[in-house]
Structure 1
Amino acid sequence: MNNNIQSQAVTKYIRLSTHKSRRVLKQITGKNCNEAQLILKFMPYRACKTIIKTLNSALNNISKENSNKIDTKRIMIKEAFANKGPKLKRFQPRAQGRAFPIQKPTCHITIKLEKK
């Protein structure tokens, strides 16, 4: 009998670059949820705020699937990754009527949890 319970949460079109999100997600992969929340709370990066929301959403998803009380100490982050989203294309005005293109990146953050 397989006793593993899994859940995931996806946050899409976040105005962060994938590179900056991945450096935070790499830190919490493989940790339990309580430890990951503590790490994210004290990290100085902007991506942490969004990742905490995604992690809480995944925790809520796991508790919705199972009506009984879930022990968060036993829930591990199985996978945490960021994929590229579409780029917002803008122009910055420059001297003598020129325009300089700006590409604002977006990303999709996915967190998968597993209870052993």
Structure 2
Amino acid sequence: MAIKVKLSNVGIAPRKVRQVCDLVRNKKASDAIKILRFCEKKEIAIALTKLINSGLAIANEANKYDLDNLVVGTIFADEGAMQKRIMPRAQGRAYKIRKRSSHVTVVLKEA
């Protein structure tokens, strides 16, 4: 049995979120939180820490899981909605700006 936690519409591009996700994949939940604490990409690290802590809280309430043995089984970031903006440029041209967002999913399972 696994615990699945999702965070939708994070205002960060999925490519950037995936770089941090790769750091904590297949690590113990306690080790993953320690790694994220000292990660350089702070905004993403804080969001992932809150997501993992939410999963641990769900596991604690269920009383079916040993919190010391929980592992970040799968963690991935999918593309979310994209905000489209226009930047005026020289000679009457316009460039499109795509502000990307992402959906992050974390699955905690017992080792």
Please give the TM-score of this superposition, normalised by the length of structure 1: 0.85
Aligned pairs for 1:1-116 within 5 A: 5-45=1-41, 46-66=43-63, 71-116=66-111
Contact map agreement 2:60 2:67 (CA 8 A) in 1? no
Percent sequence identity is 28
CA distance in 2, matches of 1:39, 1:87: 29
More strand by share: 2
| Runs of at least 5 residues in structure 2 that lack an aligned partner in the other structure | none
Q: Per-residue deviation at 1:95? A: 2.9
CA distance in 1, matches of 2:2, 2:60: 10
Q: How many residues of Structure 1 are paired with residues of Structure 2 in the alignment? A: 110
SS of structure 2 residue aligned to 1:58: helix
| Runs of at least 5 residues in structure 1 that lack an aligned partner in the other structure | none
Partner letter of residue 83 of structure 1?
Answer: D
- When the two chains are superposed, the root-mean-square deviation of aligned CA atoms in Å is 1.6
Contact map agreement 1:85 1:105 (CA 8 A) in 2? yes
Q: Per-residue deviation at 1:24? A: 0.8
CA distance in 2, matches of 1:61, 1:96: 56
Q: Per-residue deviation at 1:61? A: 1.6
Contact map agreement 1:24 1:47 (CA 8 A) in 2? yes
Q: Per-residue deviation at 1:17? A: 1.1
